[in-house]
Amino acid sequence: MSDFILAGLAAAVFAFLYFSRKRALKKLAEAVADKRRTGAGVLLTQTTDDKTLSALTDEINQLFQELQAVKMASQQEKAMFDMALHNMTHDIRTPLTIASGYTQTLMKEDANDTLLKIKQNLDTVSGRLEILLDYQNLLETENKPDLVPVNLTEILKNELLNAYDQLTEKKIAVDFVLEADYFVLATRVILKRIVQNLLGNVLKHGKNHLSVRLTADNTRVTLRLENQSQQPIRKLNKLTNRFYSENLSASENSSGLGLYIARELVERTNGNFALAYQTPDFSVSLSWPRLEN
């Protein structure tokens, strides 16, 4: 047999092995992608006799099994943490309420500076606890709530009125434009909590001025709050992350949950949530599909 024929046969064998391995690698890659996408528990298999590919398949299967074990351990740890958080927040609430009640009673008899400071600190702890309870409720209610038409304008007016004294005390001037009564699909409790959290964020981190605009076009209702920030904002995109805080207020630490909860509630009511910042102005824009009055 001539050298030319031998070289041709060798090239043919090489090409066959090369393309066979290439097809096998492609199938393996597709199987890995499908397993990642679906989370199927079926082990990957290799139909060729290639020992290298078989070893690679075994290693990938081992890696998936280890990742699944880590995922299950993480889920169990999260469930235990959520339960502990639930128990702690409810255990704290009762003695805190009792202590606040006693303090208010004592202040009626003798409103001295010491009692006033105690009350202020109890109010701070109570506020933190309410935010943790809101967070816990989000964890426990993954499904979307039953939505009904709600007058957003009315809720916004009431919450601005409720926050008036606190805004005045912080020397934050408010101007607002509420064009008309606008209705969105939500619940009163959810909309109240969204507005309360946004106003709470202004009270903690804002200064000088707050602008509130509630407007609408033919399809959407938009609520925009803009205020001046006490401190420069470094990482705007992280402000809605759980427990993230830039400590924007010099006088009070933040739980890092207010904007996160607001965003979650907006999205659960089919709304959009966006932040913007251009020194020193910080703004929050929310929008929902508009309902006819």
pLDDT tens by residue, 30-83: 778 887 777 777 777 776 777 777 888 888 888 888 888 888 888 888 777 777
Residues 118 and 214 in one domain: no
pLDDT, average across residues 91-105? 83
Give yes or no for residue 248 having a pLDDT over 70.
no
3-state DSSP assignment of residue 13: helix
What share of the chain in percent tops pLDDT 70? Answer: 85
Q: How far is CA 6 from CA 16, 47, 175, in A?
A: 15, 29, 90
Measured CA to CA, the distance from residue 58 to residue 43 in angstroms comes to 9
What pLDDT does 251 receive?
44
**Range with the lowest mean pLDDT among 107-116, 130-139, 186-195?**
130-139
Per-residue pLDDT band for 111 (boundaries 50, 70, 90) equals confident
Residues 129 and 220 in one domain: no
Which helix (H) or strand (E) covers residue 75, if one does?
helix 51-109
Measured CA to CA, the distance from residue 265 to residue 16 in angstroms comes to 58
What pLDDT does 3 receive?
64
Residues 181 and 55 in one domain: no
Q: What is the CATH number of the domain that holds 200?
A: 3.30.565.10
What pLDDT does 252 receive?
47
What pLDDT does 249 receive?
45
What pLDDT does 13 receive?
63
Residues 180 and 136 in one domain: no
Query: Taking a C-beta distance cutoff of 8 angstroms, is the pair 163, 203 a contact?
Result: yes
What pLDDT does 199 receive?
94
pLDDT, average across residues 233-253? 64
Residues 70 and 186 in one domain: no
Residues 285 and 225 in one domain: yes
**Distance between start and end Cα atoms, the chain:** 92
For 29, the domain range is 1-142
Mean pLDDT, the chain, whole residue set: 82
Residues 129 and 240 in one domain: no
**Residue bearing tokens 């060729």:** 48
Measured CA to CA, the distance from residue 66 to residue 98 in angstroms comes to 49
Q: How many domains does the chain have?
A: 2
- Indicate the pTM of the whole model: 0.62
Residues 131 and 200 in one domain: no
**115 or 50: whose pLDDT is higher?**
115
Please say which residue of 127, 142, 157 terminates a domain: 142
Residues 225 and 129 in one domain: no
